[in-house]
Structure 1
Amino acid sequence: MIKADNQILVIFGASGDLTGRKLLPSLYELFLRGLLPDRLVILGASRTAYTDEEFREQQRNHLLPSVQKKNLDEATLDNFLKHVYYVAFNSSDTTEYPTLKKRLKELREQEDLPDKVVYYLATPPSMYEVIPQCLKDNRMHRAADKTGYRRIVVEKPFGTSYESARALNEHLRSIFKEEEIYRIDHYLGKETVQNILVLRFSNGIFEPLWNRNYIDSIEISAAETLGVEKRGGYYDTVGAMKDMIQNHLMQLMSFVAMESPSVFDPEPIRDEIVKVFRAVRHYEKWEMDDMVVRGQYEGYRKEENVNPNSETETYVGMKFFIDNWRWSGVPFYFFTGKKLPAKTSEVIINFRSTPHTLFVGQCSGGSCNRLVIRIQPDESITLRFGLKMPGAGFKVKQVGMDFRYDSLASASLPDAYERLLLDAMLGDSTLYARSDALEASWKFIDPILQHWKNKGVEGLFPYEPGSNGPKETFRLGATPDSDCGCHF
């Protein structure tokens, strides 16, 4: 595999949870597999006053459990931590950025590095405009010459509405070029999500059937058994629609629905994703109550840091259509929620049934032949179809042909952040959202959120924790699947 150029990765908000829980462990895994640049500096930047050694010790404590679990010696960890440095400064104060600028210059000279820097914003969204502006004010947003570069990785949530997302895009594009902006969605870093593209476009047995002539419906779900836990303050301002559907499930849907790109390069792939979002049929106002169901689990308003009169949804089920040649008339369904019976994320392709029933026990309806792509847990693919039961007669039973994704490799599947961090260092934006795609998805979601805001608690259906969600979901018409433990 091609290695990224020697460079500096600056992590803003380095003393926070995301860095210790995801970013440094993912970088360490890349280091173990020999995928990091030969000379890489990982520079943590935050307000907390650490020396290099103190920050390394903090990150060692985050990494040790996984190191011990894999029976790796600490010498390997020490070698990795030699790449890690730290600078303390106030990232919201533009007058303190010369401290960061000086530190970058020192490290480049010390490690003999080119002028290539990736900025990672592991910060609250309120800093997504502040930090880029401060970088520009201090002339840190451009490399000194054409051999260098600057890139910036922005975490979700990317905006809270169409207007806020558009404003943030315009602000970032006034400082960085579009190809230098990496809007991260960790769902797209999952191996099983990427495998959807390979499954579709490398196999002649699926792609000819992947259209309105043979597919009855498509269901995309992400269910959790837990509630909001300690994230009540954040979640109560976001809700299931923004937290899961606007980014994760919309992006996942685009992989399922997109046309084949002309070549497997970032921009042709992202062009096809935008086409899907633009083809999604927007709801008429009178349709929203029938096509979108929102719910809130009982007891949510008593959770820590949650408004006791909260109107925030913890469950969303929705039915929609994509108006193009391939998908005209095929219903798509999204289902996501908290406090549901099983933790699962999956895509279900329901193929059309046979036009005539010939055998005893033969299944009828759109759920007979289905392809189930399980994203988590137990990453797998299952194809369901009917076969004859042994014995006299022609009694039919539905069976499954299963494939577990971990059978392709002895090692565990890589974390999503491993792939996405490596891609940012390589300059590969395939799995990162482009500005026009984000804005198109927000255009679809925004009217629904406004409709809910106008209605208040009316139409916010309660459901019991551990249940399948609000009973009103069944009016959407999705086919229940008793075999997969799904919540719809």
Structure 2
Amino acid sequence: MVKALTIFGGTGDLTFRKLLPALYNGSVSGAESADYQILIIGRRDYSTEQYRELARGWVQKFSRLPYQDAAFSRFAARIEYYRMDFSEASAYAALDAFYAARGIGEHIFYLAVAPRFFGIIAEGLASVNGAPQGKVILEKPFGENLAAAKALNARLEAIFTPGRIYRIDHYLGKEMVRNIETIRFSNPLFTNLWDARFIECVQITASEDVGVESRGGYYEEAGALKDMVQNHLFQILSIVAMERPYEFNGADMHAEQLRVLRALRPVGQEPIRDTLLLGQYEGYQQENLVDPHSRTETYAALRLFIDNDRWRGAPFYIRTGKKLQKREMEVAVIFRRPRPDVARNVLIIKIQPTEGVYLQFNIQKPGDTEEITQAKMDFCQSCLLENRINTPEAYERLLGACIRGERFWFSQWDQIETGWQYIEQLREAYRAERLPLVNYAPGVSGPKEADFLLARFGHAWFDDD
């Protein structure tokens, strides 16, 4: 039986920059994805040979492993381009015949398209022999709002059973996100101190130094809360805060993550001005495909609490934004002071672009003195050449996880639903209070109002520079 990975949206940016390089790397390294024929579906008038030449340039530019002509030729031989208007229901009969002629009987479908097409494609595939028994991978965002997400989920689950739907969150494939559980649960140094008795606050930062670039139309519908917080950053928060699973398998870990999200302090118990700040970078309204009077946020800062026995009273601060000082994603765990005259211990889990762990702790200053100073240990995992070459990237890992049926590294519907509910309640409360969308200049670390949000409670954003 021939196995096929079909990519809808095969002429888009995601396919060129991420999926094709990931599949090439898998081909070279002998990953599970190398066993699959690759069917590219797009609306443009390409022949298979023309598409393979396009793919060559993107692989040369973005693949993790060095480009080699012979390796690419072997990889490209598995690629076939199929021109199709996937929004037309009548087109799926010909696709069914295409699969049958090639003996394809095992399917993975990757929907690298806008969310409005998810239901249309799924309903078209319902008429394709064997397709509903395959697996389907969906890109975020999953719906435009909670109501749309629920309706879309119902349409998908009516065709593909829930266990065949893989909602990809590429942050869950990043090396150091996967490492959080190891750092937490394999080091008594941290395991025994991982609660509000010893931790003063946790800070999760995801900043970008670029603006919306060519994605203005998408971003107008999304904004920072939907684009980053509701999915990526809530996933990371839940991994940082979850209880130790009974077993380290997908079901148990997912259950613990969900308990964290459901334990978030309900919106309204804290003043919304002490919970959420939204901002927009100067010049956003002049970006391509952006409303010149747009009220879409490009920055969000949140102060959240998890009301369970482990975390009660310790705030979780989240910040994310575009066109900031630097590209950076990290989790900062700020420990409580042992006494007022010494600095806090700090653990930083660096996710991107640098991958590694930073630890700041107190020692006595050398010499005949009792003065205390800070020692800093900084392990840069991504600085090691062999790691840069040999460590699979997020999309490589997640494609392999889907093939193996490992569901933990994918977002589950109940997590998505819980996140949507919380974010919509936050946004509605912000609007009801008529709180401002603050402006900030490109190249800064964030709006000054985000600093004030923490300062009101005796905290500050940690900067390991």
With normalisation by structure 1, the TM-score equals 0.89
Paired residues for 1:24-63 under 5 Å: 24-36=20-32, 39-63=35-59
| Partner Cα distance (1:154, 1:63) in 2 | 22
Whether contact under 8 Å (1:380, 1:403) holds in the other structure is yes
Whether contact under 8 Å (2:238, 2:261) holds in the other structure is yes
Range with bigger deviation, 370-379 or 45-54: 45-54
Whether contact under 8 Å (2:95, 2:128) holds in the other structure is no
Q: Give the match for residue 446 of structure 2.
A: 469
User: Is 1:161 matched up with 2:145?
Assistant: yes
Range with bigger deviation, 407-416 or 206-215: 407-416
Tell me the C-alpha RMSD between the 2 structures: 2.0
Q: Give the match for residue 424 of structure 2.
A: 446
Secondary structure of the residue that 1:281 maps to in structure 2?
Answer: coil
Shift of 1:139: 4.8
Range with bigger deviation, 288-297 or 5-14: 5-14
The counterpart of 2:92, out of the listed 97, 111, 117, is 97
The counterpart of 1:381, out of the listed 331, 354, 357, is 357
Whether contact under 8 Å (1:101, 1:140) holds in the other structure is no
Q: Give the match for residue 302 of structure 1.
A: 286
Paired residues for 1:299-378 under 5 Å: 299-355=283-339, 357=341, 362-363=342-343, 368-378=344-354
Whether contact under 8 Å (2:59, 2:67) holds in the other structure is no
Task: Write the letter of the residue equivalent to 1:421.
Answer: L
User: Is 1:14 matched up with 2:10?
Assistant: yes
Q: Give the match for residue 122 of structure 2.
A: 132
Task: Write the letter of the residue equivalent to 2:19.
Answer: L
| Partner Cα distance (1:288, 1:308) in 2 | 27
Whether contact under 8 Å (2:26, 2:33) holds in the other structure is no
Paired residues for 1:161-200 under 5 Å: 161-200=145-184
| Partner Cα distance (1:210, 1:416) in 2 | 27
Shift of 1:372: 0.4
Shift of 1:73: 2.8
Whether contact under 8 Å (1:225, 1:338) holds in the other structure is yes
Deviation readout 1:133-171 (Å, 9 max, x if unpaired): 1111445533xxxxxx41100000012222222221111
Shift of 1:203: 2.0
| Partner Cα distance (1:12, 1:141) in 2 | 14
The counterpart of 2:74, out of the listed 72, 76, 79, is 79
Shift of 1:66: 4.9
Secondary structure of the residue that 2:141 maps to in structure 1?
Answer: coil
Structure 2 spans left out of the alignment, 5+ residues: none
Whether contact under 8 Å (1:22, 1:417) holds in the other structure is yes
| Partner Cα distance (1:459, 1:322) in 2 | 26
Whether contact under 8 Å (2:205, 2:319) holds in the other structure is yes
Q: Give the match for residue 249 of structure 2.
A: 265
Q: CA, structure 1 residues 459+433, in 2 after alignment: closer, same or farther (shift >3 Å)?
A: same
Task: Write the letter of the residue equivalent to 1:59.
Answer: A
| Partner Cα distance (1:414, 1:132) in 2 | 30
Q: CA, structure 1 residues 37+484, in 2 after alignment: closer, same or farther (shift >3 Å)?
A: closer
Q: Give the match for residue 146 of structure 1.
A: none
Deviation readout 1:334-364 (Å, 9 max, x if unpaired): 111112222110000011110464xxxx32x
| Partner Cα distance (2:277, 2:57) in 1 | 44
Deviation readout 1:279-332 (Å, 9 max, x if unpaired): 111210871122111111122212222211111111111101011111111100
Paired residues for 1:416-427 under 5 Å: 416-427=394-405
Task: Write the letter of the residue equivalent to 2:374.
Answer: Q
Whether contact under 8 Å (1:89, 1:99) holds in the other structure is no
Range with bigger deviation, 5-14 or 371-380: 5-14
Shift of 1:426: 1.7
Whether contact under 8 Å (1:87, 1:103) holds in the other structure is no
Q: Give the match for residue 145 of structure 1.
A: none
| Partner Cα distance (2:354, 2:392) in 1 | 14
Q: Give the match for residue 414 of structure 1.
A: 392
| Partner Cα distance (1:14, 1:327) in 2 | 44
With normalisation by structure 2, the TM-score equals 0.94
Q: CA, structure 1 residues 398+444, in 2 after alignment: closer, same or farther (shift >3 Å)?
A: same
Whether contact under 8 Å (1:232, 1:306) holds in the other structure is yes
Shift of 1:61: 2.1
Q: CA, structure 1 residues 450+285, in 2 after alignment: closer, same or farther (shift >3 Å)?
A: farther
Range with bigger deviation, 414-423 or 21-30: 414-423
Task: Write the letter of the residue equivalent to 2:307.
Answer: D
Task: Write the letter of the residue equivalent to 2:409.
Answer: L
Number of aligned residue pairs: give it: 460
